[in-house]
Structure 1
Amino acid sequence: MRFLEPGTGRHTSIPPVAYDLTYDDVFMVPRRSAVGSRQAVDLSSPDGTGTTIPLVVANMTAIAGRRMAETTARRGGLTVIPQDIPIEVVTEVTQWVKQRHLVLDTPIVLAPTQTVGDALSLLPKRAHNAGVVVDENHRPVGVVTDEDLTDVDRFTQLADVMSRDLLLLDADIAPGDAFDTLDGAKLRAR
């Protein structure tokens, strides 16, 4: 990106700026790029994880929410919360994100009395398409996956369709050990 030098119309290198700039302060000038298509941009990280999560997520209301902030923060990225969100909500989201586990994804937690319809609306929000069913003491009592919900009436309670075959692992287990344990158990939800 280059800025137009004020009053000249000439392209210049980015000058040192001693203050923050906003969209109202700059005019971005379109120019040619060696990138033929936005589809050709490679977002994969060089650390070998294979992740393609962006480093910075734009402040777009439909994109930059609590879940995206959690995911990108866990991978070392940044999510810019939209400017039209009330400061109290931004504060609450920021505190929530900072309390998340550094490695483990925040699970979808459901009650046994919730319905298949409830689960169907939530499960796509995670890559693993699974939810943890917990009792009134917040202890896991089952797991429900999208496979459990196939061809089931939407008003059926999760207690009737959940798998009660649980394998519980300590949250502090090394990721490699967790993978080996789960892989060896041959469970459907991983």
Structure 2
Amino acid sequence: MRFFHPEHDSQRELSLEDVFIVPDYYDGGSRLDVDLTPMDFPGGAHPIVSANMNGVTGKRMAETMARYGGFGVLPQDMELDTVERIVKHIKSADPQFDT
């Protein structure tokens, strides 16, 4: 992955405006040979991404998904201070134990 704006290289938090996926030629073997299994994820080889819907992803779902190697996408209509509080909580949470 590379950034179109190098000033974002040090950031780890991205929003939809920061990401643009560009298709590229793959000269490897079969795409089925690629292993995306996280080292500490017991049970899947594909990344899991939650929907950015109020009824789907909240603090608890985002924290659990982060713990298991997934991406919890918080709703876009959530208040900014709520998003900041949730992200701060997730970053400070223990990676092994449910809080």
Match of residue 79, structure 1, among 72, 76, 79: 72
Q: Is the CA contact (8 Å cut-off) linking 1:64 and 1:79 kept in structure 2?
A: yes
Equivalent residue number for residue 81 of structure 2: 88
Structure 2: unaligned runs, 5 residues or longer: 1-17, 21-36
AA matched with 1:56: V
Instruction: Tell me the TM-score normalised to structure 2 length.
Output: 0.55
List per-residue Cα deviations over 1:69-111 (Å, max 9, x = no partner): 10010112111111110000000000011111111111xxxxx
Aligned 1:143-158 pairs, distance under 5 A: none
Pick 1 or 2: higher relative contact order, CA cutoff 8 A, min separation 6. Answer: 2
- Kindly indicate which of the two structures has a greater share of residues assigned to strand: 1
**Structure 2 matches for 1:63-142, cutoff 5 A?**
63-106=56-99
Match of 1:55? 48
Q: Could you tell me which residue of structure 2 aligns to residue 113 of structure 1?
A: none
Cα deviation, 1:44-82, whole Å, max 9, x if unaligned, reads x57672259952111011011001110010112111111
Give aligned-pair identity as a percent.
38
Q: Which runs of 5+ in 1 are unaligned?
A: 1-18, 22-44, 107-190
Computing the radius of gyration from Cα coordinates, the structure with the larger value is 1
Q: Which runs of structure 1 show a deviation greater than 3 angstroms over 4 or more consecutive aligned residues?
A: 45-48, 51-54
When normalised by structure 1's length, the TM-score is 0.30
Q: Which amino acid aligns with 1:85?
A: M
C-alpha distance in structure 2 between counterparts of 1:53 and 1:104, whole Å: 23
For the aligned residues, what is the CA RMSD?
2.7
Contact 2:49 2:73 in 1 (8 A): yes
Q: Distance in 2 between matches of 1:53 and 1:60?
A: 21
